[in-house]
Amino acid sequence: MFQILKNEKQSSPDITIPEFADCLMITLCFCDLANIDEIKIQDIEEKDMVKLFIETYKIASSVTMNLEKEKLLKILSYLIALSKLLNYSDAELNNYCLKKMDKTLKIIRK
């Protein structure tokens, strides 16, 4: 499905963590819109990053305007599992999420 070129450079965490934080923020916003008051992260056993990404993509692609709670919680659980495999710390993700919220609020307040 995906072909990785041997001389292709990996993206630096400075680029990937903010993008990943955006995915988390959007998923949390959808959870809020779906009135999910209690977030229970499921334990995801899969350790293959590509399989996790593909499964997350499949579930995210199937989300409809109904914002099914089970799917949103599954996406969030998969994203958390991916963050661990990518060695992103909670502090790093929190930092980028806060920066993103601050930037968004500045845009909204203009």
- Highest mean pLDDT range out of 4-8, 68-72, 106-110? 68-72
Interatomic CA distance for residues 69 and 33, integer angstroms:
10
Q: Could you tell me the end-to-end alpha-carbon distance of the chain, in angstroms, rounded to an integer?
A: 44
Residue 11 has pLDDT above 60, yes or no: yes
Instruction: Note the pTM of the prediction, 2 decimals.
Output: 0.80
Q: Is the pLDDT of residue 1 over 70?
A: no
Are 79 and 45 spatial neighbours (Cβ–Cβ below 8 Å)? Answer: no
With H, G, I as helix, E, B as strand and everything else as coil, classify residue 3. coil
Rounded to 5°, angle at Cα 71 from 92 and 38: 65
- Predicted pLDDT at 9: 63
